[in-house]
Amino acid sequence: MSQDLVMDRGTEDAKQFARILYVAHALTFLFSAGLLSILVLIVNYVKRPETAGTIVYSHHSWMIRTFWWYVVWSAVAWVFAVTFIGIPVALLIWGISWLWAAYRIIRGFLDLNSNRALPA
């Protein structure tokens, strides 16, 4: 029984740490357009193996995928931004990708608080 309590406590600690990472991702997207999120991404990669077999693992994967898809769409926006005609398109892509990342961060945080794993 005491071993179960240790495992539950470990999972709760991992969940709390994931909550902190969600907040850190949110702050970096809010104040640096996601540029500083690379630091949080590194922590996601380091902590993810420790959470294998728990719902927290899916949350680390969710944050990692969110970051990389945001990078892809930002790169596409930059391609459009190098042309004068493409600037409005680039701004649209950046805005949509930022809103999408915000949605994923909020959804992940809420699902973590509800003890739900995220889709793979």
- pLDDT for 55 equals 95
Domain ranges of the chain: 2-113
Mean pLDDT of all residues in 98-103: 95
Produce one character per residue of 86-108: b if its CB has 16 or more CB atoms within 10 Å, e if not.
Answer: eeeebeebbeebbeebeebbeeb
- pLDDT for 70 equals 95
| pTM, 2 dp | 0.87
Mean pLDDT of all residues in 75-95: 88
Please give the structure tokens belonging to residue 119. Answer: 């889709």
Please give the structure tokens belonging to residue 40. Answer: 């949080």
d(C-alpha 22, C-alpha 106), whole Å: 8
- pLDDT for 85 equals 72
User: Which is higher by pLDDT, 12 or 34?
Assistant: 12
